[in-house]
Amino acid sequence: MVALFLVSGMAAAEPQPVADVHLHYNWDHEEVTPPEVAAEKLARNKVAFGVVSGVPAARALKLKEAASMPVIAFFSPYIHHRGRLDWHRDERVLKRTRAALASGRFHGIGEVHFVASIGPPWSNPVFQGLLDLAREFEVPVLVHAEASDHRYFLPVCRSNPGVRFQWAHAGARMGPEAVGALMEACPNVWTELSARDPWRYGRFAAEDGSLPEAWRRLFERFPERFMIGSDPVWPPGMVFRWDTADTGWRRFEQFLDYHRRWLRALPQDLARKIRLTNAQRFFAYALSEPRNQ
């Protein structure tokens, strides 16, 4: 009887499967973390499936090919290692995005970064062209819209109801009131909580996993539209470095374990939606592809 109890207790402590909807595998990740090592981390940490973007985009396919579970590759408009600086002025971006989506190897667009007062403007013709391609190929766009006010992103999601947006980091530093206001206004926005941890954009839960009541109410208000991700990028704030490799995959467990802790503070059914089934619904179009079975 004692042995049976111990076995049952060990089984209960096993980490539950998660969908990690915000992965990166870039040129500077590969320098320190081979794709096979990154793929093994996904398997060891019970990642049911992942969503990855790469710079250049072919790096995302390396992780997809190495993984034992489905990995959905997004096409990054940053088509060279400094593309984050000039993608919105590069006439090649739309042609390459179209070709990538038409190839059947990529099932989304992004991550695309916008920063209030810095730009580029939402009216940028390359970005508008990316939205047209998202509608045409029926894939989501992963948008990083960093601002102190949810109304920065509001005109875009509201004027493009036919595009599904994956909103990175729940607006970076926004609180639950602002996040909820945007989600109420734009039902085509699904919000993920990658990098909302103590080491990057700021936690919304305590390190022991306890949740402020305002965040708990927000998750209960939109139980079908929240997801999680690790965003394995490190060190933070070193986006344009050239002399230091990205060691984010070495901290993958740290980032994912933080989410596992605060999810335990929620009712079991709600936690399961946020850690897995919401993402399964959002990415069902890609998971049904033969390669992703």
pLDDT tens digits, residue range 5-54?
A: 344 444 446 889 999 999 999 999 998 999 999 999 999 999 999 999 99
pTM for the model: 0.93
pLDDT category at 293 given cuts 50, 70, 90 is: very low
Over the stretch 119-144, which tens digit does the pLDDT of each residue have?
A: 899 999 999 999 999 999 999 999 99
Between residues 7 and 269, which one has the greater pLDDT?
A: 269
Give the C-alpha separation, 157 to 197, whole Å: 25
Quick one: residue 95, left, alpha or beta (phi over 0 = left, psi -120 to 50 = alpha)? Answer: alpha
- List C-alpha distances in Å: 224 to 197, 261, 284, 285, 288: 22, 20, 14, 17, 20
Beta bridge mates, 145: 114
pLDDT category at 1 given cuts 50, 70, 90 is: very low
At residue 126's C-alpha, the angle toward residues 124 and 129, to 5°, is 110
Cβ-proximal residues to 260 (8 Å cutoff; 6+ apart), any chain: 15, 16, 18, 275
Q: How confident is the model at residue 240, as a pLDDT?
A: 60
Cβ-proximal residues to 84 (8 Å cutoff; 6+ apart), any chain: 55, 78, 113, 239, 240
Q: How confident is the model at residue 9, as a pLDDT?
A: 43
State both tokens at 233: 């990028």
- List C-alpha distances in Å: 104 to 60, 74, 137: 14, 11, 10
Burial letters 195-214, b for 16+ CB under 10 A, else e: bbbeebbeebbeeebebeee
